[in-house]
Amino acid sequence: MENALRTAAYVSKIAERQVALKATNATLLAGVGAFVVEIGSGHGHFLTAYAAAHPERTCLGLDIIAERVERANRKKNRARLSNLHFLHASAEDFLASLPENVRFADVFVLFPDPWPKRRHHKNRLMQADFLSQIAAKAGQGLRLYFRTDDIEYFAAAKAVVMEHADWQVLDAPWAFEYETVFQERAPSFQSLVAGLRE
């Protein structure tokens, strides 16, 4: 009984969070056809530089660590960028809370948590369901840019893309170079660009 109550409270908390996020997304993305998203945007270095270089594009970064989002927002405010927003949200909640009509222009996933233990692989972002959710809201010419310093995660993510009915690995250049915090620390890394199958 106690467990059932705890589960019900947890489920209702997620629903509440998604309702609030839905309202935020509806406001930020009103009138926006396609937007650029960075999932796990950390301190916001990459997306702030990207948004400054692409003033015509609406850019949205999200991260589950509130303090990182606050720092990213301070960066955005200092740079006075009206086309950039950082949200305290998980990828899962964010994807479940998007307005019907918005589309992804480009998606960046830079140095996501690698969850190296096999029993934790289910927590990785780069999974078939995630790719399906993005594909369902694909804008014209959508690209997914993935970068990691974890060799095993890179191979697994590449395999997920190759095995997915909607996606393929592209021989395409990296869209925009700007070192992230984790990139700076990494002795080496690998990058993958993916697009929808034609």
120 to 159, contacts with ligand SAM by CB under 6 A?
none
Q: Quote the strand ranges of 50-159, DSSP E.
A: 58-63, 84-88, 103-110, 138-148
> Nearer Cβ to ligand SAM, position 2 or 36?
36
In this structure, what token pair is assigned to residue 94?
């964010």
> Using CB under 6 A, which of 25, 58, 73, 180 touches ligand SAM?
180
63 to 82, contacts with ligand SAM by CB under 6 A?
63-65, 68
**Whole-angstrom distance, CA of residue 38 vs CA of residue 40:** 6
> Using CB under 6 A, which of 71, 181, 189, 196 touches ligand SAM?
181
> Using CB under 6 A, which of 115, 183, 190, 195 touches ligand SAM?
183
Q: How far is CA 20 from CA 13, 69, 93, in A?
A: 11, 17, 10
Nearest distance from residue 31's CB to ligand SAM, in Å? 25
Do the Cβ atoms of 147 and 126 come closer than 8 Å? no
Provide the terminal-to-terminal Cα distance of the chain, rounded to the nearest Å.
51
Nearest distance from residue 191's CB to ligand SAM, in Å? 12
**Whole-angstrom distance, CA of residue 100 vs CA of residue 102:** 6
**Whole-angstrom distance, CA of residue 57 vs CA of residue 83:** 7
> Using CB under 6 A, which of 29, 36, 39, 98 touches ligand SAM?
39
91 to 120, contacts with ligand SAM by CB under 6 A?
91, 110-113
Q: Residues in contact with ligand SAM, total (CB under 6 A)?
A: 19
Identify which range of 13-21, 52-60, 97-105, 181-189 contacts ligand SAM by CB under 6 A: 181-189
Query: 175: Cβ–Cβ under 8 A, 6 or more apart, which residues?
Result: 106, 108, 143, 145, 193
Q: Which residues are catalytic?
A: 113
Residues that bind ligand SAM (CB under 6 A): 39-42, 62-65, 68, 90-91, 110-113, 180-183
